[in-house]
Copies of this chain bind each other. A is one copy, B any other.
Amino acid sequence: MSTVTTVIDGKAAAASVIEAVTSAATTLESSGHRKPGLAVVIVGDDPASHAYVGAKSRMAKQCGFNSIQHTLPEETSQEDLMALVAALNADPDIDGILVQLPLPKHLDSEPVIQSILPEKDVDGLHILNAGKLATGDLKTGLISCTPAGAMILVRQIHGKDLSGLNALVIGRSNLFGKPMAQLLLNANATVTIGHSRSRDLPELARQADILVAAVGRAEMVKADWLKPGATVIDVGINRVAAPEKGEGKFKLVGDVAFAECKPIAKAISPVPGGVGPMTIAMLMANTVIAAHRRAGVAAPSF
């Protein structure tokens, strides 16, 4: 392509969401309501999970939220975890509840997640929220954070109406692929969902004006998969060996071979710094939305 490719700046987009969230939280509080309250629950000692939870708690404070972290021991029983969620459901100061996944192996995450009140389900994982999204109700539920964030990046490039554009989502998880497809469809894209059982992903990809990859396979999408001028959203985060950084060193790469795809694309999101920062920003957005609804005040949209 002779034109210059846009490298989508997820950090800047996330910062802009956080700014809007902070402003909405301030306005809510200054109009006589309490601060938005986010409860983050973590069970066990997994260092990666603790790092994620720490980042979420810090971001919540930065947004002006009341952020409460519940750290439970590894040996916590299903009953005790469910009892904590029930208490947080009943707590009038809590607008959002996030249970950090994965849980230790002896715990069953699905009943825990489904026991969160749908209106406090800021991760957007409750079946009722999935049902609202699946039936095109984007106004009263809470939408899974990563697809909601990826959509904001798509909108930066194409605007709100994707009529006439072909979108391919590679990956069909409940966390990302399915809700992403529903959001794209709702924006009038013609949506294809490809996955591990698809016959010819490269051929499907070559027809996509918008290609969203979420499979967890390092640099799977190659330059010859792309339609020239496509928008490429890379949701993969893969840890691969980086001997150039020294023995035993690793780096993060996406599902898209960025260097070779960039010259073909119209716009492309990098890893890291693309979709990644949007996830936590949308968690804050969901929390401030939930707080507004709870306060009976019109919620901002993102």
A interface list, Cβ under 8 A from B: 126-137, 163-166, 172, 174, 178, 181-182, 185, 188, 190-195, 197-199, 204
A197 contacts B193, CB within 8 Å?
no
Q: Contacts A127-B137, A191-B192, A192-B193 known; list 13 others, CB within 8 Å.
A: A128-B131, A130-B135, A133-B134, A135-B174, A136-B178, A163-B197, A164-B199, A166-B199, A172-B185, A185-B193, A185-B195, A188-B197, A190-B194
Q: Which residue of B lies closest to A209 (CB)?
A: B199
> When the two chains form their complex, are residues B178 and A135 in contact, meaning their CB atoms are under 8 A apart?
yes
Q: Is the CB of B192 within 8 A of A190?
A: yes
What residues of B have a CB within 8 angstroms of the CB of A191 in the complex? Answer: 192-193
Knowing A190-B198, A190-B204, A193-B185, say if A174 contacts B130 (CB, 8 Å). no
Chain B residue nearest to A134 in the complex (CB): B134
Chain B residue with Cβ nearest A127:
B131
* Residues in B whose Cβ lies below 8 Å from that of A165: 199
Can you offer 23 A-B residue contacts whose CB atoms are under 8 A? A127-B137, A128-B128, A129-B131, A130-B134, A131-B132, A133-B134, A134-B182, A135-B178, A136-B178, A164-B197, A164-B199, A165-B199, A166-B199, A172-B185, A178-B185, A188-B195, A190-B192, A190-B193, A190-B194, A190-B197, A191-B192, A192-B192, A192-B193
